Amino acid sequence: MSLAKILVVDDELSMREMLSNFLKNEGYRVLAVDNGEEAVARVRDEEPQVVLLDMKMAGMDGIETLAQIRELNKDTSIIIITAYGTMGNVVEAMKLGIYDYITKPFDVEKLKRLIERALKAQRLSKQVPSLQQKLEEKYRLENIVGKNPQMFEVYKRIGKVVDNKATVLVTGETGTGKELVARAIHFNGLLKERPFVVVDCASLPQDILESELFGHEKGAFTGAIAKKLGKFEIAHGGTLFLDEVGNLTLAIQAKLLRVLQEKQIQRVGGTKPIKINVRIIAATHRDLEKAVKENSFREDLYYRLNVVLIPLPALRRRKDDIPLLVEHFLRQYRSESKGKIKYVPPETMNLLMNYSWPGNVRELENIIERAVVMGKESTILPEDLPSEISEASYISYPDLTAGKTFLKQRVVNLERKLIIEALEKTGWVQTKAAKLLGISRRIIRYKMQKYGIEKPS
């Protein structure tokens, strides 16, 4: 969403300047003209969302201007400014379709609220309902899958912040769902109709990042051929998601801290402060506390971001959720593959349970998607999984935090691993390996057969 554009129409210079400055400070884009003809032209060319129209002007008067603007543009919200005692005009204006009126002298704060309400009404009427619904649907809290106690703690913390604008810090390894949680907070909360704007602090060179965040004025540096709004301004009234905030350089950290403290920004190359009102959700895979100790992250910024902390557990620390997640992604991709797949047999599930998931939920999601798309059968077989999963599972140590129902499988895996180790150490001489393990030759033979262990050729 871009910033709202407001057209100020008043033949009095001091009024135009006062209104323009005030509205610019509020973060709006402002156009100002001193007569009706010019106003009509600007409405046609620039399509402002709101027009502030003085009723008493020399030349083409307010009512005539209003009628022509309405003719051109049915969507723009017109707020008329009248002198006290000219209510007759207001009634006429109402008939032509204005949003509201305000009488001089007026309180700018009141005007500001009026504009905000007009813009909100526009957004609500303009929203394609299906798109908004889709977003809300997609990020419904029910779509965050997991019933491990650590996930309940996550839900509890999300619940604490959906209905307010507290700053949130989401931490967790790659693929644990940081962005998912950030979006869920936004789309289930107060600000869900306002913009959700993402800045990836890791992917951009830091000098570009600064103008990405704060915008820049025309000519601020070589290549700044036009004024550019920063993400802070674009997110005004909504949520700004600072992804990988741990990757910011100390210089930008200092600037960000100041912005958060003063709640205003300055575009690069600009001199005027611009007020901003955004909810901040930051995310990082880095251990910020450690970064603070190592002096690569500012302590004061850390405390400002870490108002409500939502740490996301690694998938290997909540393996009991794997079957649920598999079912969730199967359902998701099943509908995309027109119901072709699928069932996950226990052999495959065991492999999934034993893998350590360095890429966490994203890795699991990708694997299910691939298996659904590539698999020819209606079941996902072990050979539909990437080799690192089918192979790594046998050499991974049991993870004691995982569900106890899989103890048997884990013991089997460990046993298999130990037998292979013993055989390798003894050059595949079965009697020696058996001795190492404290079992008989007959038993090692039996187990080798059972687990399909063969001397590599």
Ligand X SMILES: Nc1ncnc2c1ncn2[C@@H]1O[C@H](COP(=O)(O)OP(=O)(O)OP(=O)(O)O)[C@@H](O)[C@H]1O
- In the complex, minimum distance from the CB of residue 102 to ligand X, in angstroms, rounded to a whole number: 45
Q: 413 CB contacts (<8 Å, ≥6 apart)?
A: 354, 393, 394, 396, 398
Site for ligand X in 149-208 (CB under 6 A): 172, 174-180
- Min dist CB 286 to Mg ion, Å, is 13
The site for ligand X, by CB under 6 A, has a size of: 16
Q: What is the DSSP letter of 196?
A: E
Q: What is each CA distance from 331 to 147, 247, 336, 347, 359, in whole angstroms?
A: 18, 35, 9, 20, 21
Among positions 367-426, residues that touch ligand X (CB under 6 A) are none
285 in contact with ligand X (CB under 6 A)? yes
For residue 266, the minimal CB distance to Mg ion (Å) is: 28
| Residues in Cβ contact with 313 at an 8 Å cutoff, skipping those fewer than 6 apart | 148, 150, 151, 154, 172, 176
Among 36, 146, 230, 313, binds ligand X (CB under 6 A): 146
Among 11, 92, 179, 320, binds Mg ion (CB under 5 A): 179
H or E segment at 240?
Answer: strand 239-243
Phi, psi of 223 (to 5 degrees): 100, -15
Q: Which does 246 bind (CB under 5 to 8 A by kind): ligand X, Mg ion, none?
A: none
Q: Are 229 and 266 in contact (CB under 8 A)?
A: no
Question: Closest separation between CB of residue 162 and ligand X, Å?
Answer: 16
Residue 50, SS3?
strand
Radius of gyration in angstroms for the set of CA atoms belonging to the chain, rounded to a whole number: 31
- Closer to Mg ion at the Cβ: 179 or 369? 179
Nearer to ligand X, 237 or 246 (CB): 246
Name which of ligand X, Mg ion, none residue 216 binds, using a CB cut-off of 5 to 8 Å depending on partner kind: none
Pick the closer one to ligand X by CB: 5 or 362: 362
Give the C-alpha separation, 442 to 350, whole Å.
28
Q: Which is nearer to ligand X, 9 or 180 (CB)?
A: 180
Q: What are phi and psi of 29, to 5 degrees?
A: -90, 130
Q: How far is the CB of 116 from ligand X (least distance, A)?
A: 31
Residues in 333-372 at the binding interface with ligand X, rule: CB under 6 A = 361-362, 365
Question: Judging by DSSP bridges, how do beta strands 239-243 and 196-200 pair with one another?
Answer: parallel
Measured from the CB of residue 170, what is the shortest distance to Mg ion in angstroms? Answer: 9
Binding flag, residue 265, ligand X (CB under 6 A): no
How many residues touch Mg ion under the rule CB under 5 A: the total is 1
Q: How far is the CB of 168 from Mg ion (least distance, A)?
A: 14
Q: Which is nearer to Mg ion, 237 or 313 (CB)?
A: 313
Mark the segment that binds Mg ion (CB under 5 A) among 55-63, 179-187, 246-254, 383-391: 179-187
| Listed residue (191, 205, 202) closest to 236, CA to CA | 191
What does the block give as tokens for 48?
């402002």
CA angle 2, 240, 139 (to 5 degrees): 95
- Residues at the site binding ligand X, with contacts judged by CB under 6 A: 144-146, 172, 174-180, 285, 328, 361-362, 365
